[in-house]
Amino acid sequence: MKTLYLMRHGETLFNQLQLIQGWCDSPLTELGRSQAEQARAYFEQNGIHFDYLYSSTSERACETLELVSKRSDYKRLKGLKEFNFGRMEGKPEYLHPNRRSEQKGHGDFYLQYDGESDSQLEERVKQTIDTLVEEAEEGATILAVSHAGAIMSFFRQFKAAVLPDSPISNCNIFKYEIKEGHFALAELMTRFIHKIPKSFKLN
């Protein structure tokens, strides 16, 4: 069995200002760095060590991974980048076509703004994750830091019985167990804000 921890980056300036942030970037806030450090404490306290480290090429994801792992020997993968919102990057979040956008997806809405579609996002994220898991040795533990939309696009493909009842918060972590190429969501770790969060199992 292989284990994948798929994690969202810490809070950024654009998250704080409620601006659309996909392929554009903004720095982690003080809270964002604290969230990453709390995630590191969680992993350390639970004896979780990583054999492979991956990050989106966006700086906010890279900084989060470096704070969580205290390592620099990781790979940056374009396939883990956030949804491309095209000319809508940096605009107010209320312009999203639906409020819980990462859960429901965007369809083809952002193609008109030179962005990408849900299917394009899902294809590249799934291909990227499938490849990094295939390349890992049996028994390996993997940490990949990505983005809310990208993480949900991967999650939606499994048509899971239980969906998160609120948007993915910064530094939330999806734990997948992989056997013979089959992904099973084992745990969802939420709300790294000011304390080590509770987690719950998904059956």
8 A C-beta contact, residue 107 and residue 117: yes
Predicted confidence at residue 3, as pLDDT, reads: 98
User: Per the structure, how many domains does the chain have?
Assistant: 1
Mean confidence (pLDDT) of the chain: 89
> Would you say residue 99 has pLDDT above 70?
no
> Would you say residue 176 has pLDDT above 80?
yes
Predicted confidence at residue 168, as pLDDT, reads: 83
What is the extent of the structural domain holding 86? 2-201
Predicted confidence at residue 199, as pLDDT, reads: 42
**Residue list, annotated binding site:** 8-15, 60
> Would you say residue 2 has pLDDT above 60?
yes
Instruction: Find the CATH number of the domain harbouring 180.
Output: 3.40.50.1240
**Residue list, annotated binding site for substrate:** 8-15, 60
Digit-coded pLDDT (tens) for 17-69: 999 999 999 999 999 999 999 999 999 999 999 999 999 999 999 999 999 99
Instruction: Give the per-residue SS3 of the chain.
Output: CEEEEEEECCCEHHHHHCECCCCCCCCECHHHHHHHHHHHHHHHHCCCCCCEEEEECCHHHHHHHHHHHCCCCCEEEHHHCCCCCHHHCCCEHHHCCCCCHHHHCCCCHHHHHCCCCHHHHHHHHHHHHHHHHHHCCCCCEEEEEECHHHHHHHHHCCCCCCCCCCCCCCCCEEEEEEECCEEEEEEEECCCCCCCCCEEECC
Residue 159 — very low, low, confident or very high, per pLDDT cuts 50/70/90? Answer: low
Digit-coded pLDDT (tens) for 112-158: 999 999 999 999 999 999 999 999 999 999 999 999 999 999 988 76
Predicted confidence at residue 28, as pLDDT, reads: 98
Predicted confidence at residue 97, as pLDDT, reads: 81
Average pLDDT over residues 182-189: 89
Predicted confidence at residue 198, as pLDDT, reads: 44
